[in-house]
Amino acid sequence: MKLLIQRVKSASVIVEGKTVGEIGGGLLVLVGVSHDDTASDAAHLAKKTANLRIFDDNEGVMNRSVLDVGGSVLAVSQFTLYGDCKKGNRPSYINAARPERGRELYDEYVSQLQAFISQVETGIFQAEMEVSLVNDGPVTLILESTGRK
In the chain, domain spans: 2-144
Assess whether 146 carries a catalytic annotation: no
- Residue 67 makes CB contacts below 8 A (sequence gap 6+) with 50, 51, 116, 117
pLDDT at residue 110 in the model: 98
pLDDT at residue 86 in the model: 94
In CATH, what is the architecture of 2-144? 3-Layer(bba) Sandwich (3.50)
Assess whether 78 carries a catalytic annotation: yes
Question: In this model, does residue 147 exceed pLDDT 70?
Answer: no
Assess whether 140 carries a catalytic annotation: no
Tell me the pLDDT band of 146, cut-offs 50, 70 and 90.
confident
pLDDT at residue 6 in the model: 98
Q: Which helix or strand (DSSP H or E) is residue 39 part of?
A: helix 39-51
Mean pLDDT of the chain: 96
Question: In this model, does residue 149 exceed pLDDT 80?
Answer: no
Is the pTM here over 0.75, yes or no? yes
Would you say 81 and 33 are in contact if contact means Cβ atoms under 8 Å apart?
A: no
Name the active-site residue from 6, 49, 55, 78: 78
- What CA–CA distances, in Å, run from 127 to 33, 57, 85? 16, 37, 23
Tell me the pLDDT band of 32, cut-offs 50, 70 and 90.
very high
pLDDT tens, 72-85? 999 999 999 999 99
Tell me the pLDDT band of 95, cut-offs 50, 70 and 90.
very high
In the three-class reduction of DSSP (H, G, I as helix; E, B as strand; rest coil), residue 100 is classed as helix
pLDDT at residue 148 in the model: 57
Name the active-site residue from 49, 55, 79, 112: 79
Name the active-site residue from 19, 38, 80, 146: 80
Residue 17, Cβ density class (10 Å: 0-12 exposed, 13-18 middle, ≥19 buried): exposed
pLDDT at residue 97 in the model: 96
